[in-house]
Structure 1
Amino acid sequence: MSTADSLNPQKHAFQAEVAQLLHLVTHSLYSNREIFLRELISNASDACDKLRFEALSDASLYGGQPDLRVRISFDKAARTLTVADTGIGMSGQEAVANLGTIAKSGTREFMSRLSGDQKQDAQLIGQFGVGFYAGFIVADRITVESRRAGLPPEQGVRWSSEGAGDFEVAPITREERGTSVTLHLREDALEFADGWRLRELIAKYADHIDLPIQMEGEKWEDSPQEGQPGRMVKTGEWETVNQATALWARPRKDITDAQYEDFYKHLAHDWQPPLAWSHNRVEGNAEYTQLLYIPQHATQDLWDRTQKTGIKLYVRRVFIMDDAEQLLPRYLRFVKGVVDSADLPLNVSRELLQQSRDVKAIREGNTRRVLSMLEELAKQSEAKSAEPSPADAKAEDAKEAGQPENPQPEGGKYAVFWRAFGAVLKEGLGEDAAQRERLLGLARYASTTHASTSLADYKARMKEGQKAIYYLTAETPAAAQSSPQLELFRQKGIEVLLMSDRVDEWAMNFVQAFDGTPMQSVARGAVDLGDLQNEAEKKAADQAHAAAAPLIARLKEALKDETADVRATARLVDSPACLVAEDGGMSLQMARLLRQAGQSVPDVKPVLEINPAHPLVQRLAGLESGDARFGDLAHILFDQALLAEGQMPADPAAYVRRVNAWLQP
């Protein structure tokens, strides 16, 4: 493997986050320790894939050794286990960088989420791509020997550490390219220096990997001394112990659910199984195989839209790239999977992917497939939640007793998906007009009567005469629930959707209707309930508005710098005032989001709507025209409406001063 002519070894300190991680894996993950082998084999497989990709443009990287493989060997007497690959390998500089730091975005968030809970932290290790360090679960020392493809043998490197606080790096001569990771096993981890146990774990975690994983053959040898036990001895011949066939290339009928799940864990470095998957061979203008997965939870960089994300691209089973973002739209960036094309050239680049008609067809096919998976997931969850349960019986008893109903959230796998990825999926409402109706069908929102509802279910519950789907966007769920703009709707028993994800304010600008029914914001324009208000109510509102005309004129003058308009409204029942956006105008919340994103935003002024019947408004109307307190109370009214929107007054100190002045006797 290598010549032990190490020269000038140098010590390096681990990155602080790595030191903390190493403490975690050696003290908290003991019960999940077999995951180390999955992670090391996965890293070896990735190294071989990277060599395949780089060799597309430089075949000399193979250096006369075209075989790509992983070999696992062990020595029980020496207490060692070695995972060796013939992949891309590492230079000395890469060994320091890759094995001494967590070279991935979100490091600080990762470390802050370590809890000491064995199961949860084991998931995080895979999720954040730091699986190499899992070797210290079973080893008190790890030695890595490597040579990068294309470098001469004397530029090999040896990395070693006891996982305490530092590591040592030294140059070596290594004839073979690739990497060998040798674990010096703890006394209590000798089960991993057993051929039968290792074969069992390889079958469990790596049977699907598309390159041979080899172990030395073993045979039983009787003891030459009578009465002494026999033993397993190595034959000296290497045997492939996995199927070494790409999982996606095998017929679906030959693949078990467990194999699909294990492949996902390898692909996504995820400890949890996926929520759903779809495996299909597509023929037509573009011929390709797709294997797509819906995860259970979000990765730490999900909200970083600049981060490269995507599914793995293969061409005729040759690995091309890890993150082919052109194969799915950005709003589906949570999807994991593989696409293997029969049509694309092996030297395809990211630039060519953007221009290829075949890629466009694959992208559209993948998008339709993912949305179909989600629709099926939602359908299954709704069918399951429709079955009677003890919780349903309790809710019915409470209703009969006259107690308020406690809305129950939608259950099942789709609820898990929506909590993790719903806000990302809603980005598609503004980005993908062709799929907007399907995305609206998949959307789930809280409402004034339900913890979670689909738009189709909302429509089925609409009151007779209701001609629009009403919704409200707000900064937080609490702000949405307590918004004064809901008062009239609550009084008349009209359900309103409550949208509190940051993306909602932007996304709803692109949505006019669902299934032929208009979508109408209750915080935009003048309220008009149409047939839901009777003639007496409309007449009373008109009379109140006419009586408030003099007050409105005075308020417009007092608040001319803060408001676009002042008007009376029938939407308020208990509150004195609220703020709304003009039809076609930008809301305060949208303006704030754009400013936070560094966008230049024009001056946005809201419309102040007042409740003429409220005592505070009537008191305001009773002040004389020359009374200086009129301006103070008018500004208090406006600032309180701002606070109800989740906004801060432009001058909080002035607001406090005005309120204090009114509170004094």
Structure 2
Amino acid sequence: MSEEQLSFQAETSRLLEIVAHSLYSNRDVFLRELVSNASDACDKLRYLALTDPTLAGDTPYAVTITPDKAARTLTIADTGIGMNRDELVENLGTIARSGTAAFLSQMEKQAEGGGTSLIGQFGVGFYSAFMVADRVEVRSRKAGEAGGWSWSSDGKGRFTIAESADAPERGTVITLHIKEDAAEYLEPARIREIVRTHSDHIALPIRLVDGGKEEQINAASALWTRPKAEVTAEQYKEFYHHVGRAFDDPWLTIHGRAEGMLEYSSLLFVPSTRPFDLFHPERQVQVKLYVRRVFVTDSCAELLPSWLRFVRGMVDSEDLPLNISREMLQTNPVLRRIRQGLVKRILGELARKATDAPEEYATFWGNFGAVVKEGLYEDAEHRDALLGLARFRSTAGDGLVSLAEYAGRMRPGQEAIYTIHGDDAGQLARSPQIEGFRAKGVEVLLLTDPIDEFWTGAVGRHDGKPFRSVTRGGADLAKIEAPEGAEKPEPKGDRPIDGLLSLFKVALGDAVKDVRASERLTDSPVCLVADDGDMDMHLERMLRAARQLDQASPRILEINPTHPLIQGLALRAAEPGTSEELGEVAHLLLDQARILEGEPPADPNAFSRRLAGALARNLAA
């Protein structure tokens, strides 16, 4: 077959431009990434060879690094699974990942500051070779296939692919033509330093060819099998970088071994930064599964629930069969028990952090709290533990509060945990619906994550106290004692408003479910609330935005009977011939309440006309 000239996928060309010309703060990572890829290729072949030993043959698993100063090349070879033509095109010519555009946007922003922390997040480690090389050549032969293939590119928009007679017997050979300013990576001493710093934990031999002699330059032992006392913080960090394809440092490292009826080792990490695709629907648990040091799968969804999908690491089981299929993983009772043990351990470590390092924990919660709260909705078994870990913004101040802290500040007579749902905590704190609660010293939780709408309904109550939205149903504030010494709001008027209520109900008709005097308003003239049995207003807006709900339900318009505006309108309502004018005002106030909820007026043209009319009448008075 003749050579094929193919173009990179548009996103890949964009990525190569960023990597080759922007991310220069730590070019050592290219070698770490290529060695990690080589290690993964060997792991995958080792697993497949369990059921088909002919795939592996007699060639041992290893990674070999060969610098050639005369030719200005650096070669990284592995004896792993290898790639055929289609896999070379797919893996090296395209980024077949959802969320590509968002990732590249973040990467471009980071590149302006010379950062590299997003390379591994997206599994694009191969492309980091162009940090130090102006041309990259790949020769590969897939295990079990006869023909070999070559791939080459200068990273400038196109690549060449062809059949290769000199492909390795099995595996992949990557040759980098080193740039003038990257000659240091041809020095054997420099290569040893990088491998021992970043890849010492790789559990197969990494060999360096120096002056015709070959030497192993890594420890080549599974890090998770070593006692914790023998593993340094730096070794944990580099293993996290490898297993998690990450560039940040781990915020929490959990290394343990279970013995007894069930034996397994685990080395898990909680990142210090949030992955860009954390909330993408296709994102899965990314914890590697090994069986007696033999790699089985990159991402075993059965090891952890989806609400812990930010956790990276690996688990090595002594009890699973070596030839277990991925289909069998879904129903295996051993995995279910391992999962229970891992979740219990992770939750215990998080609880310890929350107690011992609350400021650090607040940062963790800011990164991953919205994901953890999915467990409140999905996982009844761990709900109590998760409620203890949950942290919330509230009207009590700028920091985060736990439910235990909230309960300790509840007012005498308060029978519920009060919440308000929306998109922005600052705006929620200024909502008219919480005015009466503030006046009584009642703390309100400000819930801004979409999952909050669902878990509060699923959980129902905590420690005997129901979760209750301040934007739904009656306020019941009369039962709650105000703090001692709290200023009581001065009455702004005592004029009866029954006539005004009746007039507003007639004028607004089906646009509202009811018009009533408010117990919860102290400063604002009006607000909207949902009836007791109706859907929360924020949830309704979310469902309408997702096109899962056709139209809004009519709400209750509450008016503040002591507000000067309402008092003045009540006086006007007692005068004959004012029904039409006050009907216009009723619609204006309803639209004002809608705007406060972040919604547009029902009819912007009518709103503008009514507002202009009201201003004109005021000027004429």
Q: TM-score, normalised by structure 1?
A: 0.86
Amino acid at match of 1:302: L
> Does 2:84 align with 1:108?
no
Q: How does 1:1-40 map to 2 (within 5 A)?
A: 8-40=2-34
How far off its partner does 1:533 sit? 5.5
Comparing 648-657 with 162-171, which one deviates more in the overlay?
A: 648-657
Q: How does 1:393-408 map to 2 (within 5 A)?
A: none
Q: How many angstroms apart in 1 are the aligned matches of 2:425 and 2:97?
A: 33
Amino acid at match of 1:483: S
Amino acid at match of 1:366: L
Which SS does the other structure have where 2:362 is aligned? helix
User: Deviation digits for residues 287-337 of structure 1, max 9, x if unmatched?
Assistant: 221211100122222112333333111111111111111111111111111
Q: How many angstroms apart in 2 are the aligned matches of 1:657 and 1:561?
A: 21
How far off its partner does 1:203 sit? 1.0
- 1:115–1:121 Cα contact (<8 Å) kept: no
Q: Counterpart in 1 of 2:375?
A: 428
How far off its partner does 1:199 sit? 1.4
Q: How many angstroms apart in 2 are the aligned matches of 1:475 and 1:119?
A: 30
Amino acid at match of 2:607: Y
Going from structure 1 to structure 2, the CA distance change for 1:52 and 1:604 (only over 3 Å counts) comes to farther
Amino acid at match of 1:234: G
Going from structure 1 to structure 2, the CA distance change for 1:609 and 1:286 (only over 3 Å counts) comes to farther
Q: Counterpart in 2 of 1:661?
A: 613
Going from structure 1 to structure 2, the CA distance change for 1:371 and 1:584 (only over 3 Å counts) comes to farther
Q: Counterpart in 1 of 2:425?
A: 477
Q: Counterpart in 2 of 1:574?
A: 523
Q: How many angstroms apart in 2 are the aligned matches of 1:625 and 1:350?
A: 78
Q: How does 1:332-347 map to 2 (within 5 A)?
A: 332-347=308-323
> Does 2:507 align with 1:593?
no
RMSD after superposition? 2.7
Q: Counterpart in 2 of 1:305?
A: 281
Q: Counterpart in 2 of 1:146?
A: 140
How far off its partner does 1:264 sit? 0.2
Q: How many angstroms apart in 2 are the aligned matches of 1:119 and 1:663?
A: 52
Q: Counterpart in 1 of 2:45?
A: 51
Q: How many angstroms apart in 1 are the aligned matches of 2:48 and 2:582?
A: 75
Q: Counterpart in 2 of 1:385?
A: none
How far off its partner does 1:349 sit? 3.5
Pick from 608, 614, 617 the counterpart of residue 563 of structure 2: 614
Q: How many angstroms apart in 1 are the aligned matches of 2:40 and 2:54?
A: 19
Q: How many angstroms apart in 2 are the aligned matches of 1:589 and 1:330?
A: 25
- 2:83–2:172 Cα contact (<8 Å) kept: yes
How far off its partner does 1:440 sit? 2.1
Pick from 489, 494, 499 the counterpart of residue 447 of structure 2: 499
Which SS does the other structure have where 2:118 is aligned? helix
Q: Counterpart in 2 of 1:363?
A: 339
Q: Counterpart in 2 of 1:388?
A: none
Q: Counterpart in 2 of 1:97?
A: 90
Q: Counterpart in 2 of 1:651?
A: 603
How far off its partner does 1:465 sit? 4.8
- 2:23–2:114 Cα contact (<8 Å) kept: no
Q: Counterpart in 1 of 2:409?
A: 461
> Aligned residues: percent identity?
48
Amino acid at match of 1:609: E
Pick from 79, 95, 99 the counterpart of residue 72 of structure 2: 79
Which SS does the other structure have where 1:559 is aligned? helix
Gaps in structure 2 of 5+ consecutive residues: none
Amino acid at match of 1:660: A
- 1:128–1:300 Cα contact (<8 Å) kept: no
Which SS does the other structure have where 1:170 is aligned? strand
User: Deviation digits for residues 484-505 of structure 1, max 9, x if unmatched?
Assistant: 0111122233322211222222
Pick from 569, 572, 582 the counterpart of residue 630 of structure 1: 582
Comparing 252-261 with 108-117, which one deviates more in the overlay?
A: 108-117
Comparing 561-570 with 476-485, which one deviates more in the overlay?
A: 561-570
Which SS does the other structure have where 2:457 is aligned? helix
Amino acid at match of 2:589: L
Q: How many angstroms apart in 2 are the aligned matches of 1:59 and 1:626?
A: 93
How far off its partner does 1:125 sit? 1.1
Comparing 10-19 with 81-90, which one deviates more in the overlay?
A: 10-19
Which SS does the other structure have where 2:34 is aligned? helix
User: Deviation digits for residues 511-568 of structure 1, max 9, x if unmatched?
Assistant: 333344443322221111313159xx9xx999x9994334333333333423233321
User: Deviation digits for residues 336-373 of structure 1, max 9, x if unmatched?
Assistant: 11111122223334442232222221222111122122
Q: Counterpart in 2 of 1:254?
A: 230
- 1:290–1:338 Cα contact (<8 Å) kept: yes
Q: How many angstroms apart in 2 are the aligned matches of 1:247 and 1:336?
A: 15
Pick from 455, 458, 462 the counterpart of residue 510 of structure 1: 458
Q: Counterpart in 1 of 2:508?
A: 559
How far off its partner does 1:438 sit? 2.0
Pick from 170, 174, 198 the counterpart of residue 181 of structure 1: 174
Which SS does the other structure have where 1:272 is aligned? coil
Amino acid at match of 1:37: L
Q: Counterpart in 2 of 1:169?
A: 161
User: Deviation digits for residues 38-87 of structure 1, max 9, x if unmatched?
Assistant: 0100111111222233334443322x245221111111221111111111
Comparing 34-43 with 549-558, which one deviates more in the overlay?
A: 549-558
Comparing 615-624 with 565-574, which one deviates more in the overlay?
A: 615-624
Amino acid at match of 1:33: R
Q: Counterpart in 2 of 1:354?
A: 330
- 1:462–1:495 Cα contact (<8 Å) kept: yes
How far off its partner does 1:245 sit? 1.6
Which SS does the other structure have where 1:289 is aligned? strand
Q: How many angstroms apart in 1 are the aligned matches of 2:372 and 2:326?
A: 24
- 2:22–2:114 Cα contact (<8 Å) kept: no
Going from structure 1 to structure 2, the CA distance change for 1:314 and 1:116 (only over 3 Å counts) comes to closer
> Does 2:135 align with 1:136?
no
How far off its partner does 1:239 sit? 3.0
- 1:331–1:425 Cα contact (<8 Å) kept: yes
How far off its partner does 1:15 sit? 2.3
Q: Counterpart in 2 of 1:274?
A: 250
Pick from 373, 393, 414 the counterpart of residue 446 of structure 1: 393
How far off its partner does 1:146 sit? 0.7
Amino acid at match of 2:397: H
Pick from 36, 39, 61 the counterpart of residue 42 of structure 1: 36
Pick from 357, 362, 380 the counterpart of residue 381 of structure 1: 357
Q: How many angstroms apart in 2 are the aligned matches of 1:452 and 1:516?
A: 25
Which SS does the other structure have where 2:109 is aligned? coil
Q: How many angstroms apart in 1 are the aligned matches of 2:459 and 2:297?
A: 35
How far off its partner does 1:9 sit? 1.8
Q: How many angstroms apart in 1 are the aligned matches of 2:502 and 2:47?
A: 72
Q: Counterpart in 1 of 2:221?
A: 245
How far off its partner does 1:122 sit? 0.7
Q: How many angstroms apart in 2 are the aligned matches of 1:25 and 1:211?
A: 28
Going from structure 1 to structure 2, the CA distance change for 1:263 and 1:93 (only over 3 Å counts) comes to same
Q: How many angstroms apart in 2 are the aligned matches of 1:344 and 1:654?
A: 70
How far off its partner does 1:168 sit? 1.5
Amino acid at match of 1:279: H
- 2:494–2:562 Cα contact (<8 Å) kept: no
Q: How many angstroms apart in 1 are the aligned matches of 2:445 and 2:168?
A: 66
Q: Counterpart in 1 of 2:204?
A: 211
How far off its partner does 1:459 sit? 2.9
Q: How many angstroms apart in 2 are the aligned matches of 1:601 and 1:373?
A: 44
Comparing 325-334 with 632-641, which one deviates more in the overlay?
A: 632-641
Q: Counterpart in 2 of 1:326?
A: 302
- 1:80–1:182 Cα contact (<8 Å) kept: yes
Going from structure 1 to structure 2, the CA distance change for 1:601 and 1:14 (only over 3 Å counts) comes to same
Comparing 310-319 with 110-119, which one deviates more in the overlay?
A: 110-119
Which SS does the other structure have where 1:303 is aligned? coil
- 1:475–1:646 Cα contact (<8 Å) kept: no
Amino acid at match of 1:445: F
- 2:497–2:567 Cα contact (<8 Å) kept: no
